[in-house]
A and B are shown apart, each in its own frame.
Chain A
Amino acid sequence: MSKSGTILYLDGVSVAFDGFRAINKLSLVLDRGEMRAIIGPNGAGKTTMMDIVTGKTRPDEGEVFFDGQVDLTRHDEAEIAMMGIGRKFQKPTVFDSHTVEDNLVLSLNGPRSIFPALFHRRSAEEARRIDDILGVTRLGDKRGALAANLSHGQKQWLEIGMLLAQDPKLLLVDEPVAGMTDAETEETARLLKDINQTHSIIVVEHDMHFVRELGVKVTCLHEGAVLSEGTLDFVSSDERVMEVYLGR
């Protein structure tokens, strides 16, 4: 399979922890501008896959390429983030002691070394981008609120806002609607579809209602490998998928 035109290219990736194969010869290709939903039961290797892509975990074997040419296995988290891969964690992870605004200030793309940060002055352009992101994530009235005081759903949105501020080429979004109401879930699906206009996205989610809402190609992982891939209807009518979800 050719790597050109892909934003993310995984081929034959395996990783084992103490003999347990969390990822087993996983191959997955994401085209530029594509949004992909990844489903799978607990322990299917979804989060481990994200760890590999973002440089937290090194694979034992296999190829991981970003943007068709960059070998991600040779870079660490900070470098990969700077190349343009943003990640939202399963458990919303924001800077609790900072205001919503400061969370975004720290996420805005720009120089990432110590001295520019020491002498940083906020530009009008940055202020405008923060306003935009606050608008998109509906957090405008929470601008000065401490992130610790946000509701679970708002934290999820703030974290997505931080990804937007980072302006990556590829977003990895782990369980964005966990703990959200139905209305919030719909809203999030709409937001992700919006973001997808200009970014490639991988969404990991258990909520089938949400995945249907997204209306994108679905990959079902099981025991660290791709079990089935296609439309949601195709995947959910796949006998092997039903077996995995309903028990054999």
Chain B
Amino acid sequence: MISGKFFAAGSDRRIFVAIVLLVAAAIVVPVLNVAVPAGSAFHVPPYMVALVGKYLCYALLALSLDLVWGYCGILSLGHGAFFALGGYAMGMYLMRQIGSRGVYGNPDLPDFMVFLNWKELPWFWYGFDQFWFAALMVMLVPGLLALVFGWFAFRSRVTGVYLSIITQAMTYALLLAFFRNDMGFGGNNGLTDFKDILGFNVQANATRSALFAASAIALALGVFVTWLIVSSKFGKLLIAVRNAESRTRFLGWRAENVKLFAFTVSAVMAGIAGALYVPQVGIINPGEFDPGNSIEVVVWTAVGGRGTIVGPIIGALLVNAGKSWFTGALPELWLFALGGLFVAVTLFLPKGIVGLWDQWRDARAQRQVSVAAEAGTDIDPTPPKIGRAQSGAPTGEWAKPSGGPEPQPAE
């Protein structure tokens, strides 16, 4: 009972801290990278900026999954598809920015189209020379796909493992489609060899720092928006749908619309993450649609703790840092480690790192409360039975938040 209150207070503070840290990183890291000379102990090397910038995009992707999986119970195994689509939209913009500096020197057509002997730009590449258009598509394309896909899936009441399977099928279908040269997205090789973004050299140190800052700010905004959504009445409804979908229907809520909204918002967030990812890694290819990628996102979210907002971010950063280290030190063992990690988390840490932390803190708070109770007042340990303990109209006693002892100031 008090743990609920504790958790609410604790998680709100955690959101605040996360946002402050991200904004601080967005300011401090670029400064330490660009303004501090390379010899200094405080200098952040460019490779570090690029690496962590990439992780922040992964964290935003994990956060978007948390909104649907952690809060609404929709286990999407195809979230990588939305990420990749956002990435492709950004990639198309970057391709158009190359202009006549490509290998074939064609001012309109990207290299791969010249190579395929295409004479003119396909209609769906129109507009991508404008940044605003590409930025719009980054959100619109994944959002629209999620809207249409979700509309059919949720209306037909496809839930649980069946939904997971069709999301997996969706990303696999896109993988196969984007592999085809005829699709007009560079086929197997994807889009790469980028030169400029908004007129700045993609490879330049300052641009990389700016992209890092943009990723950190985007993630901070993502945290804020997700927090606004889950702390509203709609957020309670999301959790209610996760708990007992049929109950929400019999109360008059349209569970399918609740899920559809969350799924669409989540897809838009994933798309933005993909768009920020592509200029930092310098390539987007169909491999991003690989079902394995989407499953990895699930692992990050589970490791950090789903339904906690901060957890998936921690999970994404930790697992990816682990991956970078592991693939360097023991490359052939990485997949075993990842699989083992998922099994271990499922068995021993069902609520992830953040859940474990909460459990530990709640237990400590409970201990403090019971110590205080033993030392001081004589509190009846048995909970009051229904009905006869209290009767009549509400009294002032009920105005208290929980009926238990006042919460201790946490930590």
Chain B residues with CB under 8 Å of A107's CB are: 251
**Cβ-defined contact, B229 with A98, below 8 A:** no
**Cβ-defined contact, B249 with A77, below 8 A:** yes
With an 8 A cutoff between CB atoms, is A209 at the interface?
Answer: no
**Cβ-defined contact, B403 with A141, below 8 A:** yes
**Cβ-defined contact, A117 with B4, below 8 A:** no
**Cβ-defined contact, A149 with B254, below 8 A:** no
B254 to A, closest residue via Cβ: A78
Among the 9-residue stretches A65-73, A86-94, A198-206, the one with 4 or more Cβ atoms under 8 Å from chain B is A86-94
Q: How far is the CA of A148 from the CA of B386 in the complex (A)?
A: 16
B71 to A, closest residue via Cβ: A97
With an 8 A cutoff between CB atoms, is B39 at the interface?
Answer: no
Tell me the minimal C-beta distance from B228 to chain A in angstroms.
8
Tell me the minimal C-beta distance from B94 to chain A in angstroms.
35
B387 interface neighbour in A82, A106, A138, Cβ under 8 Å: A138
B233 interface neighbour in A56, A109, A117, A162, Cβ under 8 Å: A117
Chain B residues with CB under 8 Å of A89's CB are: 247
With an 8 A cutoff between CB atoms, is B326 at the interface?
Answer: no
State which residues 28-62 of A face B: CB under 8 Å: 54, 56
Chain B residues with CB under 8 Å of A113's CB are: 254, 257
A118 interface neighbour in B232, B391, B395, B401, Cβ under 8 Å: B232
Chain B residues with CB under 8 Å of A87's CB are: 250
With an 8 A cutoff between CB atoms, is B133 at the interface?
Answer: no
**Cβ-defined contact, B398 with A141, below 8 A:** yes
Given contacts A144-B402, A166-B252, is CB(A93)–CB(B391) below 8 Å? no
**Cβ-defined contact, A142 with B252, below 8 A:** no
Interface size on A, residues (CB 8 A): 50
Chain B 224-239 against A: per-residue CB contact (8 Å), 1 yes, 0 no? 0000010011101101
**Cβ-defined contact, B234 with A81, below 8 A:** no
A117 interface neighbour in B237, B243, B403, Cβ under 8 Å: B237
**Cβ-defined contact, A166 with B251, below 8 A:** yes
Chain A 106-148 against B: per-residue CB contact (8 Å), 1 yes, 0 no? 1101001110011110000000000110110010111111100
Q: How far is the CA of A141 from the CA of B403 in the complex (A)?
A: 6
A159 to B, closest residue via Cβ: B247
**Cβ-defined contact, A93 with B244, below 8 A:** yes
Tell me the minimal C-beta distance from A33 to chain B in angstroms.
22
A143 interface neighbour in B233, B252, B384, B398, Cβ under 8 Å: B398
Chain A residues with CB under 8 Å of B257's CB are: 113-114
With an 8 A cutoff between CB atoms, is B5 at the interface?
Answer: yes
Tell me the minimal C-beta distance from B323 to chain A in angstroms.
32
Chain B 356-393 against A: per-residue CB contact (8 Å), 1 yes, 0 no? 00000000000000000000000000011011111111
Among the 9-residue stretches A6-14, A19-27, A150-158, A226-234, the one with 4 or more Cβ atoms under 8 Å from chain B is A150-158
Given contacts A131-B398, A144-B1, A184-B387, is CB(A78)–CB(B252) below 8 Å? yes
Q: How far is the CA of A112 from the CA of B253 in the complex (A)?
A: 6
With an 8 A cutoff between CB atoms, is A1 at the interface?
Answer: no
Chain B residues with CB under 8 Å of A117's CB are: 232-234, 237
Chain A residues with CB under 8 Å of B393's CB are: 135
A105 interface neighbour in B236, B252, B388, Cβ under 8 Å: B236
Chain B residues with CB under 8 Å of A112's CB are: 252-254
Tell me the minimal C-beta distance from A48 to chain B in angstroms.
15
With an 8 A cutoff between CB atoms, is B246 at the interface?
Answer: yes
Closest 8 CB pairs of A and B: A81-B252, A120-B233, A144-B402, A117-B234, A77-B249, A145-B1, A140-B398, A141-B403
5 further contact pairs, Cβ within 8 A, besides A145-B402, A166-B252? A78-B249, A97-B243, A118-B233, A119-B232, A138-B391
What is the interface of chain B, defined by CB distance below 8 A to chain A? 1-5, 229, 232-234, 236-237, 239-240, 242-244, 246-254, 257-258, 261, 383-384, 386-395, 397-398, 401-403
What is the interface of chain A, defined by CB distance below 8 A to chain B? 54, 56, 77-78, 81-82, 86-87, 89, 93-99, 102, 105-107, 109, 112-114, 117-120, 131-132, 134-135, 138, 140-146, 149, 151, 153-154, 157, 162, 166, 183-184, 187
